[in-house]
Amino acid sequence: MNQSCKKTSIGGQALIEGIMMLGPDRSAIAIRKPEGNIDCKVEPLKTLRKRFKFFRIPFIRGIIGMFDSMRLGFAAINYSASFAVEEEEVEPSKFDRWVEEKIGFERAEKILFALAGVFGVIIPVVLFVFLPTLLAGLLDDYIGSGIWRNLLEGAVRITIFLLFMYSMSHMKDMKRVFSYHGAEHKTIYCYEAGKELTVENVRSFPKEHPRCGTSFLFSVMIVSILVFSVVQWSNPWIRMALRLVLLPVVVGISFEVNRLIGRFDNWFTKIMRAPGVWFQGFTTFEPDDSMIEVAIAALKAVIPEEEGADKW
């Protein structure tokens, strides 16, 4: 495996036929349009952490960073989806005409995107917080309370997470998204190695990256087992409410742990990163050259002018 010469804070997200890259000062969304050319939208990066110093304090920055990532991610996905909608020229239905007349498509799109954002938060919370707690609670009479119940709940949570990502990785449309995810990793790896950003150079790097957001999610799963173990309420509904309250704590701690193990390269941090890197086998696929071109366009747009401004 190729080793990085430096570590960059630049990160990205795979989209529908595209990639979003976030640099220290700018964000870029590169999309492969239906006609074949690349559309690259570059904007100043506006996050709460950049606006307020308080949100850059350790632990707090992880919670706010998650909020910023979700907000920017939803907006980027909606932007990339608009190109897919443009590609399909379908005769408006009666419902479409009614929406245009009563609400207006622009307002309807905003409502739809807002609902998608809400469900994008609710569904993971139900799957990975409420459901494991409820299932583990059904076995209270057999395993009792305390550490064993928390360990079982954590095991159920990880199992649901693995099954969910496994099923996602086998969906045809998601395979292309995950291939763009691989292109993002390869391109960042190439940039960190100090090589010229060409398709040939990028292609030679691994599709798994040790500081990927997928690894962060896996850290959240592990940290949640430790944090939730302090909650010993026997009532499953109270436990679910307390887990929801403790979720920001889990995110904040996971961010700091992930940042720490990503900063150093030794036997301990490699062991700590290994599960997350392994898990990327579900969320990254080998990209084709056209996907790598998109990733290169997005990354080049956010590289800072000042040397070292993007240091991890």
Whole-number pLDDT of residue 276: 84
Q: Are 12 and 284 within 8 A, CB to CB?
A: no
pLDDT at 1: 45
Q: Residue 186 and residue 193: Cα distance in Å, rounded?
A: 11
Instruction: Output Rg (C-alpha) for the chain, integer angstroms.
Output: 21
pLDDT score recorded for residue 268: 87
Global confidence as pTM: 0.82
10-residue stretch averages of pLDDT, the chain, 312 residues long: 71 94 95 92 91 89 89 88 63 55 61 65 79 78 70 85 86 90 96 96 94 82 83 76 89 90 84 86 94 97 90 84
Number of helices and strands in the chain (H, E): 13, 4
CB 210 within 8 A of CB 273: yes
